[in-house]
Amino acid sequence: MRPGDRVRIPLRKRLLVRLLSASVLIAVCSVAATAWLAVATTTRALREEQGQALADDMDILARLSGYAATHPDWSGVQRTVRDLSVRTGRRIALTAPDRTPLADSAPQGTSLPPRAAATVDPLRTDTYTERGAQLSGTDPRVVGPYLLPPLERQKLDAVAHARQRCFSRYGIETTVTATPSGRPVLTGADGGATTDYVPEGCADGQLGAPTATERKALTALQTRVRPCLVREGLGPDLPLVLGVGVPGLGGLDATPGSTLVKALDAHGGRAAQACLDEARHAQLDPYVAPVAELFLGGGGSGATPRWDMSPANKVKVFGAAGLVLAVTVAVSALVATRLVRPLRALTEAAQQPPDRHARVPVTTWDETGILAEAFNDLAERRERLEVQRKALVNDVAHELRTPLTNIRGWLEVTRDGLVEPDAELLGALHEEALVLQRVIDDLRDLAAADAGALRLHREPVPADDLLAQVAAAHRVAADGAEVALRTETEGTLWLDADPVRLRQALGNLVANAVRHTPPDGTVTLTARGDGGEVVLAVADTGTGITDEDLPHVFERFWRAEKSRSRRTGGSGLGLPIVRQLTAAHGGTAEAASTPGAGSVFTLRLPAAAPPADG
């Protein structure tokens, strides 16, 4: 396939189609999840509404039972019924057992629901469903003749507060609470009564003693229950007064060992309890409203609201789902088109001929924009590498052509008899051959380092000996250039390295330093420790390197002064070889320079421990 040919991508594999398919799938799942959530939410709301309706019904029943417990008839209940209907939104109707209307929140003439919701009878309450009901089945708000007059209430309140202060002295915190009959009782922090434990200093017996009103009502109750006990064969003299359990009079419970307890523990206990309940109902009956039937309806219509998925509701649900689906597809298509556009630009740029190094505009900074930026960076690096490759070929050709041309020229004139092959000519040819060999060796070393095939023969190397050997090898050249060559070493430092390669790297640095240092200058070789590294530095007092040229000193065939030849400026491969040899030893090469003041080339290499025999 040629670079300009356009690839035909199958429809099912196109990114746009896949994005649309994924969007449709997501939309369908979203709609399904939304529908499920709506159904679940509606169901939960209906259940909560039903629970709230049940709680409202219980509250209505409790309020009306409380009214019946404190009033002898239903004559004033209409206002209470109307207030409850407004608060709950329900229709409330009260009738006599024969359905004679007593009170109704609906307009007159509105038919009643088919069945009564409950029976309002404070003397026979539903023990398990009505809030506040007693186990005896009597509404606790029915007090009848046990209602205390104000004077007795004041006396009992004084006694209760005195008992509260007494409890407080013993570290027991209590609260005085009034019962429906007006009798005060002490409750603990948990809301329960404190009669389970009474400190000896507080047990005066006054708070639990019945008042004159209560004593009169208890005597009347005993009189009422005696005939029933005689009928049941239990005896008329049982002290039933102690087991009545008058509201708020917790101290009147039967004591262990009493005749009542013995009777109730026997088989006649149930009969005695029945007699007591019958007598209490008869005693309290004149003080409560008559039995009534309670009818409840939905806002006056008499029908309870029910969830119905009608055809209109179904059309609304499916219409909304279709609209959501259409909007999702449209938005997904728009987003996908905008997403695919830069990808197409990348594809067209990548299909351009390699020599054009095409770029693409970066319009966004998302994943596609990052990809475009990376593509442009890759194209720029490829263009730069191409330029470097061409420059490398030209430089290598130039470096090899010059010595070869000189050797060929001298050989041709010698062959033609124009020049005698004397020692001076042979020396010149030998020097050109050495230059050629040096360039070839440098290229071979760089190629081996690039391929990772540079072989090192490591051994323990003392840093001071290494610097001394390098300085001795370049002493003659430094003296000839009138440059002082010095070495400085801090302590005893060891390297695990190839001494030949390190001498080659340092030799290249020293040769460059001597070449660029004017007469009477100084080249200094130093070695010092820096943590787990040995720092080798070659500093000179030469001309230095400009800030523009400093980043390029380790590039191949680069010379700071382009006018220099290979004889005055080197081949341009010395510093790249230094960097490669240092990297092969696991180190780094750095350069710093100040124009006119000199340069410092630093090699950082891993330090090694001294040999065992050293």
Per residue in 110-146, pLDDT tens? 888 888 888 888 888 764 444 444 445 788 888 889 8
Residue-level pLDDT at 248: 39
Q: Are 273 and 282 in contact (CB under 8 A)?
A: no
Output 248-251 pairs: Cβ under 8 A, ≥24 positions apart.
248/179, 248/180, 248/181, 248/182, 248/183, 248/184, 248/185, 249/146, 249/183, 249/208, 249/210, 249/214, 250/185, 250/193, 250/195, 250/208, 251/195, 251/207, 251/208, 251/209
CA 570 to chain CA centroid, Å, is 62
Residue-level pLDDT at 330: 80
pLDDT tens, 477-523?
A: 888 899 999 999 988 899 998 888 888 889 889 988 998 899 999 99
Residue 168 structure tokens: 């407080």
Mean per-residue pLDDT of the chain: 77
CA 19 – CA 17 distance, rounded (Å): 5
pLDDT tens, 227-277?
A: 887 887 776 665 544 334 444 343 333 333 334 434 444 456 677 777 888
Residue-level pLDDT at 251: 31
CA 340 – CA 358 distance, rounded (Å): 19
Residue-level pLDDT at 419: 78
Q: What radius of gyration do the chain's Cα atoms show? A: 56
Sequence ranges of the domains in the chain: 1-129+290-306, 144-287, 455-606
CA 581 – CA 575 distance, rounded (Å): 10
Residue 86 structure tokens: 């407004």
CA 328 – CA 334 distance, rounded (Å): 10
Q: Are 213 and 207 in contact (CB under 8 A)?
A: no
State the burial class of residue 93 (Cβ atoms within 10 Å of its Cβ: 0-12, 13-18, 19+): buried
Q: What is the pLDDT averaged over residues 543-552? A: 83
pLDDT tens, 372-417?
A: 888 888 888 888 777 767 766 776 776 677 678 878 888 888 888 8
CA 128 – CA 134 distance, rounded (Å): 9
Q: What is the pLDDT averaged over residues 517-544? A: 91
Q: What is the DSSP string of 60-98?
A: HHHHHHHHHHH-SSSTT-HHHHHHHHHHH-EEEEEE-TT
pLDDT tens, 418-433?
A: 878 888 778 877 877 8
Residue-level pLDDT at 190: 65
Q: What is the DSSP string of 219-274?
A: HHHHHHHHHHHHHTTS-TT--GGGGS--TT-GGGSPPTT-HHHHHHHSTTHHHHHH
Residue-level pLDDT at 482: 92
Q: Assess whether pLDDT exceeds 90 at residue 611.
A: no
Identify which of 305, 301, 299, 304 has the alpha carbon closest to the alpha carbon of residue 90: 299
Residue 279: which pLDDT band, with cuts at 50, 70 and 90? confident
CA 394 – CA 229 distance, rounded (Å): 133
| Backbone dihedral region for residue 504 (phi beyond 0: left; psi -120 to 50: alpha; all else: beta) | alpha
Residue 335: which pLDDT band, with cuts at 50, 70 and 90? confident
Locus of tokens 């200058």: 521
Residue-level pLDDT at 297: 82
CA 439 – CA 433 distance, rounded (Å): 10
Residue-level pLDDT at 403: 74
Q: What is the pLDDT averaged over residues 513-541? A: 92
Between 1-5, 500-504, 582-586, the lowest mean confidence (pLDDT) is in 1-5
**CA geometry: angle 229, 232, 238, nearest 5 deg:** 35
Identify which of 92, 90, 89 has the alpha carbon closest to the alpha carbon of residue 80: 92
% of residues, the chain, pLDDT over 70: 75
Q: Assess whether pLDDT exceeds 90 at residue 602.
A: yes
Q: Are 524 and 471 in contact (CB under 8 A)?
A: no
| Helix (H) or strand (E) segment spanning residue 599 | strand 598-606
Most confident among 9-18, 54-63, 520-529 (mean pLDDT): 520-529
CA torsion, ordered 525, 529, 532, 533, to nearest 10 deg: -10
Residue 390 structure tokens: 């061409």
Tell me the CATH architecture of domain 455-606: 2-Layer Sandwich (3.30)
Q: How crowded is residue 526: how many other Cβ atoms within 10 Å of its Cβ?
A: 18
Residue 601: which pLDDT band, with cuts at 50, 70 and 90? very high
Residue-level pLDDT at 275: 81
Q: Which residue(s) pair with 589 in the sheet?
A: 603
Q: Are 123 and 284 in contact (CB under 8 A)?
A: yes
Q: Is 543 helix (H, G, I), strand (E, B) or coil?
A: coil
Residue-level pLDDT at 149: 92
Locus of tokens 């020229």: 409
Residue-level pLDDT at 273: 77
Residue count of the chain, please give it: 614
Q: What is the pLDDT averaged over residues 282-302? A: 80
Residue-level pLDDT at 523: 94
Residue 549 structure tokens: 């040229």
Q: Are 210 and 135 in contact (CB under 8 A)?
A: no
CA 510 – CA 502 distance, rounded (Å): 12
Q: Where are the alpha helices (DSSP H) in 416-526?
A: 423-450, 463-473, 475-480, 499-515
Contacts of 434 (CB under 8 A, 6+ apart): none
Q: Assess whether pLDDT exceeds 60 at residue 302.
A: no
Identify which of 509, 463, 450 has the alpha carbon closest to the alpha carbon of residue 485: 509
pLDDT tens, 200-232?
A: 778 777 887 888 998 888 888 888 888 887 887
Residue-level pLDDT at 49: 63
Q: Assess whether pLDDT exceeds 80 at residue 559.
A: no
Residue 561: which pLDDT band, with cuts at 50, 70 and 90? low
pLDDT tens, 181-199?
A: 888 988 876 655 555 567 7
Describe the strand order of the beta sheet including 484-489 as a list of residue ranges. 484-489, 522-530, 533-540, 598-606, 588-594
Q: Where are the alpha helices (DSSP H) in 307-422?
A: 311-350, 367-415
Query: Could you give the C-alpha distances from 201 to 163, 168, 193, 222, in angstroms and in order?
Result: 10, 12, 18, 33
Q: Which residue(s) pair with 93 in the sheet?
A: 104, 295
